Each structure stands twice: as C-alpha cells, then as structure tokens.
Amino acid sequence: MNGYRVVRFLVAGLMLVVISACGETPIDVKALKSQPKKYVGSDTCKMCHLEHYDSWKMTLHSRMMQDAQKNRDVIVTELDPAHIRADLEKIKGKLKIPVDKFYIPKVEDVKYTVGSQWKQRYLVEKDGNLVFAPIQYNLESHRWVNYNEDKWEKKLWFNDCGGCHATGVDLEKKTFVEPGVACEACHGKGSWHAALPKTEVFEKRATIVNPAKLTMGVAVQICGSCHNRGKATKHKTAEWAVGYEPGKALEAYFKSTSFGAGDVKHLYANEFSMGHHQQYIDWSLSIHAKEGVTCTSCHYVHQIGVPPTRSQTLSAGSKQCLTCHVQINNNQAHSIHSFANCIGCHMPKIATSAESGDIHSHVFVPLLPRDTLANPVIPNSCETCHKHKGQDLKKLQAAFDALTVLPKPVGSPVKVEMPPAAPKPAPKKVEAPKPAPEAPKAAAPAPATVAPEHPKTAPKEGEKK
C-alpha cells in the first residue's frame, strides 16, 4: 500500500513539472490587445525562432548599421588621417571645402558604422545628434572620398536615414530599438506576439505580420519602404516613410522621387535610377511589376545556411533569370552573347553606390546605343561591357541592328510543277443481299421394316455353343 502511494505521489509530481514547464501564466488576450504594440528587439525573437535569427544574421540587413562602441572590428579599415587626406587630395577639384578642413573622426568617436559591402560611413555625435562624418570609404576601390563635406553637421541622421538603417526609430525622441534592419522592420512590432503563450496558436499568429502570407501588392511595399528615395507624407522634412508599418499601403506614408518631379541627381531622364537604394523605383517601371514578379521572386530575405550569392538571389547571375525565362535559341539579339549573359544587357550597371556603375538597374530593359545618342547622359548596356567601352555609338547600333533584324528573302520564287492528281475511283455500287432460297420440305419417313428373324438351328457336332 505504501508503494502505491509513492507511485501516485511521483506521478502527481511529474504532472506538476510538465504543467509548469508548458505553463505560461494564463494571458488575458483581450487585455493584452488593448495595449499598444511595442518593439521588443530581435533578441526576443530568437528565443523561439533561432534558425531564422541565425540566417538573418548572415544577411546584409543585419549588418546595415553596427555598433562600433561595442565592437571596434565593425570598422573595416584604419581611420588614418594621412591616408584619408592623401586620397582626398586626388579629387580636390570636386571638393567643396579644402582638404585640410575635413573633419576626420578618431576610432573612439565613431558610434556606429553604416554599410560594409560597397562602402562604409561613420556616425558620430554632434550637439546631441547623430550625423555622418564627411568621409566615406569605398571598399572595392580601396579609396576615401568625400560625403556632404560642406553640410555634414546639419544633415541629421534620424531625419534623413534613420528609419531605414535602424529598427524601431522614434524620430521625435531620437531613439531606436536596435541598429540594422531587424525582424520587426519587416514583421512589425512584436510585443503582443512575444507575450502570448504557444498554446494560443491562432491568436499568436494573428499578432505578427508574415510577409509571405500577405498579398503581393502590399508585401512588395515592405521592401519599397526602404529601397526607395523620396519624402515622407506624415512628416514635413523626413526622407523615410515615417509611420509606415509592414502590411500597410506605402503611398499613404511616402512619395517616391522622380526625374519628372525635378530630381536630376538621382534619376536619368528615362526615369531609370542612377542612385543607390532605389530598386523599388526601377521595379515599378518594369514588366515584372505588371506581371506580379516581386522582390522575393528573385531575392530571399533569410534562409537557412550561408547565403549563396552576394545579392541574396536564389541563383547566381543569369541562372536566376533562366529559372523563369527558358531560352529556346540563340538567334537575333541573343546571338551576341550566346552564353546567356542576361543581366549584362537587361540589368546594366548604371547606378552608383560607392563607385560609378556598381549597382544593377532593376527595370530589366536593355539600354541601346540609340538611347545614348538621343540623350548623352543616359548610359547604354553595350558600353558597360569593357569590350565595347568607348566605341562609336552609331556603328555599335548598326551592328546591333544587323544582328537583330531578320534579313529579307533574296532571289525569285521557285516554281515547282506538280503532276496532276490521279482521279479517285468511283465508289462501287453496293447491292442489297439476295434472300436465301427456301430449303425443301423433308419427305415423310418411310415405315421401318423389321428384318425377318432367322430360325434357330442346332449347332453341329464339334462347334462351341
């Protein structure tokens, strides 16, 4: 009996442990949702979504803005004043202030770095505001260039860039939740989602934005809220979508720039981008936008494992294009590059991030020499290739036309006399079948005759009976 009580006690204790392990304190969902949503930070998200957190940490979004006070290694080069001024001397004809007047921060002055792939800029504190130092390091060319050197102290980072470099930015309070483009930048504020227990499956799902489950029209605008350039509609001077939240209509919070509206610095006359982070503007002009091919059709935001490509595309180079555009033959225009270099012509590098022409166009339209002939400011796809750089544009266009215009038929038509067709035989007349003759009636059978019975004779002597 005592053993039975011990077993019951152990079972009850085990059940208590299980309940307490699963047992988040019951949440009043209605009361929770009556409170405004707040940002909680990606460190909270990783407690349940570790695999997605790890994959996000491998992307450029997570490294857009990094804390240099916590980790000096995020500064990718030396802040050597002598080297920096020597590089600036090489371009002094373009500078708006003398080289010796440039402010060059010390390592300990840098609060945050912005960028680490094409270029890097350095945020410092000035009169209580975060501002970019007037220097920029270009990674691929390994050189220092100027950045807003005549007005850097007046270009307030929170106002101009904050909402796209950090997550949870409060423009009025000049604060943010975390540097970089983190989970809640695309999924929305997570306080409700994090507070609800896992047992509240459906309520928990409903309190967070999953871009993959949105309609494409609003999902793509999440990307467009930052891969864009223009002005806020809910703030007088901000240059990012103040008040926008994932899943909302972007145009209510942000107005994109355009050449037609007077922006000749960031766009060509054909409205193609010449500035960086303007892919959404380009895409909006493309046939992809009309056909429903969005950013995530080609790019992933986070995936398990190391990113396979520099630009986080699902495949490398033209292989990405060929997953949808099956190339049947290599004639006409495609005979120029029979190795199927789609992006070389359809996505020419005509925009600038760090150095001129280091960013692909996202209108997906080849620019021909005739476009440059019509407007010399507009570049063309052909001259972005080193082989055709500096060639005579008229000859280059003529060569292109010769390849892309089908030749007219030459000679005279060939007359072929065909023998007359043999007449078709007349169809045979089909006669109706004749009725079968009647069978003659059988005669009545003759009466059977009975053979007379022979008389029995006695066997002769010697015969067997």
Write the pLDDT tens digit of every residue in 323-365.
898 877 777 888 777 666 889 899 999 999 999 989 999 999 9
Burial class (CB in 10 A: 0-12, 13-18, 19+), 388: middle
Judged by phi (left if over 0) then psi (alpha if -120 to 50, else beta), residue 150 lies in alpha
User: Please, what is the average pLDDT of the chain?
Assistant: 87
Least confident of 164-178, 256-270, 423-437: 423-437
For the chain, the maximum distance between any two Cα atoms, rounded to a whole number of angstroms, is: 169
Q: What is the pLDDT of residue 15?
A: 46
pLDDT, tens digit, 9 for 90 and up, residues 101-143: 999 999 999 999 999 999 999 999 999 999 999 999 999 999 9
Give the residue-averaged pLDDT of 297-323.
84
- How many Cβ atoms sit within 10 Å of the Cβ of residue 204? 19
C-alpha 361/C-alpha 25 separation (Å) is 52
- List the helix and strand counts (H, then E) for the chain: 18, 12
Q: What is the pLDDT of residue 75?
A: 98
Tell me which amino acid residue 135 is.
Answer: I
pTM: 0.80
Q: What is the pLDDT of residue 340?
A: 61
Confidence tier at 210 by pLDDT (50, 70, 90): very high
Do residues 320 and 314 touch, judged by C-beta distance below 8 A? Answer: yes
Confidence tier at 460 by pLDDT (50, 70, 90): low
Confidence tier at 443 by pLDDT (50, 70, 90): low
C-alpha 25/C-alpha 45 separation (Å) is 19
**Pair of tokens at residue 205:** 């799902």
Give the residue-averaged pLDDT of 26-31.
80
Of the candidates 167, 137, 158, 130, the residue with the CA atom closest to the CA atom of residue 56: 167
C-alpha 25/C-alpha 20 separation (Å) is 9
26 vs 320, which has greater pLDDT? 320
